[in-house]
Structure formats: C-alpha cells, structure tokens
A and B are shown apart, each in its own frame.
Chain A
Amino acid sequence: MFTLRDVSKVYAGRPALGPLALDVPAGQTTVLIGPSGCGKSTLLRLLIGLVQPDAGEVAFAGTPVTPATAQAVRLRVGYVIQDGGLFPHLTARGNVTLMARHLGHDRAATAARVTELAALTRFPADGLDRYPHQLSGGQRQRVGLMRALLLDPDALLLDEPLGALDPLVRADLQTELRDIFRRLGKTVVLVTHDLGEAIYFADRVVLLKDGQVVQEGTPADLWHRPADGFVTRFVQVQRGPEVPA
C-alpha cells in the first residue's frame, strides 16, 4: 500500500531518517517501534506528505506522494494522533464531520455514518454534542478514530494512539482497537514505543534505531530471532507478554 524507496530526511543538518526502503503491505497491521528520536513519527508523517523527504520517493497505492498529490492521499488515509488531536472549538460531532462538511457531502448520509462509527467505536451517542474538554481521554481517542474513519479510508495511520491514557483505559481500548482493525480489514500503520502494544497489534513489526530499520518481521522474529544485540536489548528491557515460538 505504501512504498518507500531510498527515503531520507534531514533535520537541522542532522540525518533524522534513512536512507531506508520499506514496503507496507495492504490489509495488515504494521507497527513502527523504536526508542524516542528513532524517526518512527517522521516516517509516519512522510506517508501522507506532512513531511517531505529530502531524497527518495514515497508512494501510496502506486502514486508518488508529493505536495501536489498529498491532499488527495490524505482523503484516502485516516490519521490519529495522541489524545485525538481534536479541535477544541468544535463538538465531537463537529470534529468527526469537519472534512465531510468541507467537501459538501450529503448531511443525512454523514449523520448516518457518524451513528455507525459511534457504534463501532462504542462512543456514547450523547457525547457527540460535547466539546473535547468535556470528554475523557479514552472518549477523545474514540472521537479521533471516528474522525479518521469517516471518509472510509483505505489506510489508517495512528501515532501513539494510546500514549496519553491511563493503564486500565489503555488496556480496554487496546482490545477494542484490535477488534476494530480486524473487523475493518484495512491497512493499518501504528507507531508506538511500547513493545507489548506492538506485539499485541502487529502482523509485522518494524524496529527503528537512529533513523534506520534494524529489523523487520513478525513479533516472533523479533523475540526469537533478533537481528543484532540492540534488538535483544530492546526486547529484554521491555516487559512484554511471553510469545510462543
């Protein structure tokens, strides 16, 4: 679905990412993981043109992602950030339907879609007319997810979607999110620094360090067939669930 070829990005004279090549397969959940500053969030932003590569090419479904095409790509890719990234001046419904209103979509169809998504994300109907600061962290994240899914995108990108939640809410939402991903069958790219979370969601894990891909494979590959000492250490210091071989 996403293809990166020889992509590199430099920030303030320091290489932040790459050069790297990566294929994100369609219909699977790919998790980007690594320590802080490894470039995983930059990589996610590159996928929808929020950041332009200094060299190399990013393509979505065969089309290069450039400033000219980024707008169209973003309409086909949902994007969720930590704490939802909701606009504080709009209600939950206002946030979810903002893009549909901008595109002039049919109101009744949009309203029906919101009801459908509220059911999917188990968001309470009476919360739709509340403002973000009147919602709990978990609810804000559900609204962020609804907003990303409204236009029924081909792919869903999530940047630390559960990072701002307390552990219990986080555990509940993890389960629900995985169910949703499985039900939708969409291409999902999720960024996290938590190995447990990565293993829980991932069909494929991409471990990054200093802007480079260290290892790419199934969670079991990481656990049992670490590519180098860094992978071993990364796996060991994180308390993840025991993974059967």
Chain B
Amino acid sequence: MRRLAFLLLLPLVGCARPAERPVQIGAKKFTESIVLAEMGTQLARDAGVKAERADLGGTPALWLALTQGDIDAYPEYTGTITKEILKADVSDLDSALAAHGIRISRSLGFRNNYALGMRKDVAAAGGITKTSDLRTHPDLRCGFIPEFLDRPDGWPGVKRHYGLSQYSVQAMNHTLAYRALVEKAIDVTEVYTTDGEIAQYDLLVLPDDKNFFPAYEAVWLYRADLENRYPAVVANLRRMEGAISEERMQRMNSAVQADKRAEGQVAAEFVRGELKVEAVSSDGTLVGRVLVTTWEHLLLVVPSLALAILAAVPLGVLAARRPFAGRVVLGLCGLLQTIPSLALLLFMIPVMMWLVGQGTGAPPAVAALFLYSLLPVVRNTHAGLTGIPGSLRESAAAIGLPPFAALWRVELPLAAPTILAGARTAAVINVGTATLGGFIGAGGYGRPILRGIDKFDVPLMLEGAIPAAVLALGIEGLFGLIERAVARPA
C-alpha cells in the first residue's frame, strides 16, 4: 500500500525531466562549487545551448546524478575523486573515470586543500604553528562539518596520521563553524584553503607538515556523451583549465561570503574579464527567482499532500471501523509525527534510493512530507466518523443502505468539514516542513533560506521565508473557501 503510494509519485516527479532538457551543470552546496558551476553554466550558454545550474547536496549525490545522467558536468577536486569516489589510489584518473563513462578536465589552476584553521591569537597562546603541534593540546575544542568527520581523508585520517587526541569534537555547519571559531566557542575547524573567510577573519591555516591531506586540484567532471552531444560546451568548459589562481578563487569566495554578492555576478565578472565571454548570469530577477522557487515548492507540497489525503482518508475510515486497527494506525501516525522532520527527511534518502533509485531531490522530500501529512488527516477522519451520532448511522442502515453506501452517501459527507480541517492543518505543516527540502537539493523555498544561512545573508533567507509564509497563508485561505463551499447552508 505504502510502496504503491510511493510508486504513484514517479510520474509526478518524472515530468520535471522532459526529453530535450537543458544542459545541467551540478554544484555542491558551498560557495566555491556554486561559483564554478555558475561559470560553467554561463560558458555552456555561450556555446549556444540552454543550460541550468542544479544545486544538489554533497559528493555522493553529485556523483550519482552525473553517472545517472541527471546532470552533465560538475566541478570536483582530485583528492575527493580518489579518496571518496573511486576509493582507491589510482595513478591514472582518466582511465579509472572513463570506466564510469566520465571524463575529467585538466586542473582549473588552483588547489582547494583541506587544512585545519585556528584564530591566530589562540594558536599563538598555545605556541601552535603547524598541524603536528596539536598533539600536545588535547583540550582544544574542534568543530567540523559532518562530512569531514566521516571521510577517511577528513578528521579520522588526520587524527591517526598525526596521533591527535582531542576529545571535544562536534559536528556543525561550515559557516557556523567559522563564526564559532571567531567567537572563541571552538578552537579548531577544518578550512578549505580557498575559503574567503580565511582572509576575512585573518585566520591561521596550520601547515600540513606531515603531508596528510591529498592534493585537491579543482577540475571538471563531465559525461563522456556530452562530448558527442554538445562538443562546443565541453570546449568552453575546458577554457577554464589553468585559468583560476588560488588567490583569485579566494577573492571570489570572499566576494560572495563576506560582501554578500550573488554567485552569478561574481562568476560573470570572471568569465567576462578573463575568458572574454559575454556571460549571462543565472541569478535572474527577484520575481523570477521567487516564481521558480514557488513552483518547486508547490511540486513538493501538492503531490505529497494529495497523496497523503488519498491515503489518510481510507486509513481514517479503517481506524473508525476497526477499533484495534484504529489504535495501531493512529499510534503509528503519531509516532511518525514525533520523528524530527529533518531526521525523517534524511531517513527517506536511502528509502527512496531503494524504492525509486533517486535518493536526492524531490522524491525523498515528497515521501517525507507525505508521511508527515498523514496524521492530521487520519485523526480528523477518525474523529469525524466516530463523532456521527449513532442514531444517524442506524438510520442509514435501517433504510437499507449497505455499509459502503452508508459511508459514501452519509458518513463521509457528514465528516467532511472535520476531514477538511485536518487537511488544512496538514497543508500548513507541509508548506513549512517542505523548506527543509533545501537540505537535500529538493528545491523550493528552502534553497534560498539555507543558502542564506550558509552565506549569512539575511535578504536571501527572507527571499525564501517570506514567500513560504505567504504560501501558508494562501493555502489557509484556500481551504477556508473550500470549507465554506462544502459547509451546510445555515
């Protein structure tokens, strides 16, 4: 039943991907990746094709999307390719990737290595000048992004390689880690050597004196078939080879992070200035962006809510008819509601990977929202049906209506106002929770909100938050109208 409901999602999700779709340039969810992908998108447009930037999650999501053909190219780092994607020390990256149908460009000109960073004054107080000095300071508080905590070339590797023993280690968002570092809430965080914040906050990047971190040369990964379909796009992407210095990348990152400039503009300046290409930024106008995020948001809310109502009303009927099944159904739905929404969303990633083979983007978000919207509708259907006076149920039976007809012609119409009120609650919860879809590349209002949090950019956060509130109010109003239409005339 539930699996069936999930499979029903397929056509809804699938229609977002027509046969002749634009070239998709993927980006990870951090500034540098977005700026690079934006350059690639502008260069692809210059090659005369339609191109879009797709902001997805982390490395696994991008790699999967690339090998499955959801995206055509994305900027990656050589260290990540060997350590995390191929998980092998290969001498010949080209042929190892070719086995997956993927090609790799030459270096774009800079490295973005992992390193550990500290405030200069804190480091000086402990006499720390290089990574190996951390051995004698086990009390230093560390804050790392979750990915760094997990990766073999991240914290576990550094710890083993240098024999470190810091005991206070917590996971946090990259931007927040920088702020925590500046506020002295933590002492050590991981940095990317091209991060704009290094210059902005005047931080000390600890030299990797025992050569642990692999080299992270920035490169393009692209599908081999892109070369056949759009050779001009590949040629244009490769014009970025060797074009960006580490210092230039740091400046561009800082322009976005510190000066709150739009990624598209920063990328366009570079493309125009260095590559002499008349670039068109994909930033678009505010209205255009809000329309796109609204559409994406509705693609999450409407299918999940519609499916939830379709599933929840029969469940509510079952609950009202069979008291034991009712307790089980209501209990399970209540249990679902107690799972934190973000946890449910993340849990849906492997589930949807298994069910429909797509673990990022809309499917897991729609699935999580579907589950989240069940309870209010199930509970209100149950309450609406059990609240019908016994004399009316008996009347329906006494005039000869069979049970199903009594349900359809008498009980559901009588319970309709209560059921609608449940759907209304579910809809408002759904609109709010759908913003979390931004965490897994599902689009919608969550995208500007999370991007705004990453950049500490309040107007960008509001670009998602205000329309989300307006949409919630709009849906409230819409349900109010429907309720009035079905209400019995007074």
A102 to chain B, nearest CB (A): 5
Q: Which residue of A lies closest to B417 (CB)?
A: A89
A50 touches B398 (CB 8 A): yes
A99 to chain B, nearest CB (A): 5
Report chain A residues within 8 Å CB of B413: 89
Cβ-based interface call for B470 (8 A): no
Rounded to whole angstroms, the CA-CA distance of A228 and B197 in the bound complex is 103
Q: Which residue of A lies closest to B406 (CB)?
A: A102
A89 touches B414 (CB 8 A): yes
Report chain A residues within 8 Å CB of B410: 87, 89, 98
Q: Quick one: which of B394, B397, B401, B402 contacts A98, CB cutoff 8 A? A: B401
Rounded to whole angstroms, the CA-CA distance of A55 and B397 in the bound complex is 22
Cβ-based interface call for A131 (8 A): yes
B379-413 contact mask (Cβ, 8 Å, vs A): 1 or 0: 00000000000011011111111100100011001
Tell whether A102 pairs with B405 under 8 Å between CB atoms, given A87-B410, A87-B414: yes
Report chain B residues within 8 Å CB of A147: 399
Rounded to whole angstroms, the CA-CA distance of A129 and B402 in the bound complex is 25
Q: Which residue of B lies closest to A132 (CB)?
A: B488
Tell whether A79 pairs with B391 under 8 Å between CB atoms, given A87-B410, A89-B488: no
Cβ-based interface call for A48 (8 A): yes
Q: Quick one: which of B392, B398, B402, B488 contacts A79, CB cutoff 8 A? A: B398
Rounded to whole angstroms, the CA-CA distance of A85 and B416 in the bound complex is 19
A75 to chain B, nearest CB (A): 4
A48 touches B488 (CB 8 A): no
Cβ-based interface call for A170 (8 A): no
A71 touches B400 (CB 8 A): yes
Rounded to whole angstroms, the CA-CA distance of A85 and B410 in the bound complex is 12
Rounded to whole angstroms, the CA-CA distance of A151 and B398 in the bound complex is 13
- Which residue numbers of A lie inside 8 Å of B, CB to CB? 45, 48, 50, 71, 74-75, 79, 81-82, 85-89, 98-99, 102, 131, 147-148, 151
- Give 15 pairs: A residue, B residue, CB < 8 Å, sorted on A: A45-B394, A75-B400, A79-B399, A81-B395, A81-B398, A85-B391, A85-B392, A85-B395, A85-B398, A87-B414, A89-B410, A98-B409, A99-B400, A102-B409, A131-B489
Supply 4 further A-B pairs (C-beta < 8 A) apart from A74-B398, A81-B394, A81-B395.
Answer: A71-B400, A89-B413, A98-B399, A99-B400
| Top 5 A-B residue pairs of the complex, sorted by shortest distance between their CB atoms | A85-B395, A74-B400, A79-B398, A75-B400, A89-B413
